[in-house]
A and B are shown apart, each in its own frame.
Chain A
Amino acid sequence: MKRRHGSNAWAMGLAVLAGAAWPAPAEAHLVTTGLGPVYDGISHVLVSPEDLIPVVAMALLAGLNGPVAGRRTLFVLTGAWLLGGVAGFAHGHTAVPAALTTGSFLVLGALTAADLRLSSRTVTVLAVAVGLLHGWLNGAGIAASQREVLGLVGVVGAIFVVVALLSAFVVSLRAAWMRIAIRVAGSWVAAIGLLILGWTLRTGAAG
């Protein structure tokens, strides 16, 4: 038993020595790998409620309207977001009224709260509108802060994951009270949208 411990220590010592003798660049800073902007994009979605809330609301609405709407939203929302982002980046300035973005909160939240049965086409049109609008703002923001357009890949990747997980979860719900919980969440989104609209108008009036 003692001998075995001894050989393990020797093996570990050799491994450490080998590691020290052949060091490789750690590439801890993602700038050197080119992946920095992608991670920036991923984290942007997760820490930016102005983008995350409409994405969550869209996923909830799509999930409430069944698997076909959920599948379409998954690809259409992300595709439209990418297109809008590239267009916004190319033009480089934000020309969208702020009140319009709060409209996405209001419309998606109210539709989710009402649990209206929408056709897949209607859900698709909503996903295109939300994707183009918020994607444009993201792209314009990236251009304005002189960052790399690659960040959009991270943004769209994060949105894809959020929509896939959430809409699939909502589609799978069978208990009535869980659908009600989703509707309550929708009413919260609509309420937040209405308050932000008020803040926007107030700030605009003050400015």
Chain B
Amino acid sequence: MRREGPWGRGRWCDALLTVALWAAAVAPLVAHTQQGQAQGFLTGLRHPVSGLDHVLAMIAVGLWGAQLGAPAVWLLPVTFPMVMAFGGFLGLVGIPLPGVEVGIALSALLLGVMVAREARPPVLAAAALVGFFAIFHGHAHGTELPPGQSGLMYSVGFVVATGCLHGVGIAIGVVHRWAWGRALLRLAGTAVAVAGIVFLRRALA
């Protein structure tokens, strides 16, 4: 005999039918009168993950922080967004920064080398290195707002996405506690450094 629980076939059909009716009769949700808010947020969220150079450098920051351990593991992700925003601020007020693309490529190269070598400089030196390159990333990415979108929500999305990329790096860096994990991280650092060389060649071409 076939058993039917409280959610038998009939109820599933009812539920699916209800969802289908809802989906068919969906109306635009105009919950907020200000225009460009959601789009600005999504553009900001997408921006940092749209360029491989930016993605690799952000993840390398997280990986290096995980290798260095406390307090660098939190100092680097705290330093980066603020200095990156300073770079964005410079770009927004029209202060030019020479060699932005070269700086971004160098950031991937040098951060990759640091991870590959498992370098352990003083924490402040590590923060200064990360902060220096953050200015280039902020200058390049923080200023590209399409017209009609909210600058505030773009900034929120941009900072959140960058922070999440650091989080990904730190999460991957958890494998550092095992010997095979340490080897894997060094390998990942080497890959980031090689990608940095490619970016550098492209920037200088």
Binding site for B on A (CB under 8 A): 47, 49-50, 53, 110, 113, 177, 180, 183-184, 186-188, 190-199, 201-203, 205
Contacts and interface: CB of A to CB of B under 8 A. Distances in A.
B169 interface: no
23 contacts: A50-B152, A113-B82, A180-B74, A183-B78, A184-B77, A186-B78, A187-B81, A188-B159, A190-B81, A191-B82, A192-B156, A194-B85, A195-B88, A195-B158, A196-B151, A196-B152, A196-B155, A198-B88, A198-B89, A199-B92, A199-B155, A202-B92, A205-B93
Contacts of B81: 187-188, 190-191
B63 to A, nearest CB: 17
A188 B160 contact: yes
B86 A194 contact: yes
B92 A192 contact: no
Most buried by A among B32, B90, B156, B163: B156
B48 interface: no
Contacts of B113: none
Q: How large is the interface on B (under 10, 10 to 19, 20 to 34, 35 or more residues)?
A: 20 to 34
Contact of A192 (B32, B77, B93, B159): B159
User: What secondary structure prevails in chain A residues at the interface with B?
Assistant: helix
Interface string B70-105: 000010011101101110111111100000000000
Nearest to A53: B156
Interface of B: 31-32, 74, 77-79, 81-82, 84-86, 88-94, 142-143, 145, 151-153, 155-156, 158-160, 163
Contact of A202 (B32, B82, B86, B93): B93
A189 to B, nearest CB: 9
Contact of B151 (A177, A194, A199, A205): A199
Contacts of A113: 78, 82
A177 to B, nearest CB: 8
Nearest to B34: A48
Contacts of B156: 49, 53, 192
Top 8 nearest A-B pairs (CB, nearest first) are: A198-B92, A199-B151, A191-B85, A195-B155, A194-B85, A191-B81, A198-B89, A180-B74
A158 B32 CA distance: 17
A199 B40 CA distance: 13
Given A113-B78, A188-B159, A201 B85 contact: no
Nearest to A193: B85
Most buried by A among B85, B90, B91, B158: B85
B71 to A, nearest CB: 9
Contacts of A201: 92-93
A195 B159 contact: yes
A59 B190 CA distance: 42
A203 B152 CA distance: 12
Contacts of A187: 77-79, 81-82
A61 B156 CA distance: 19
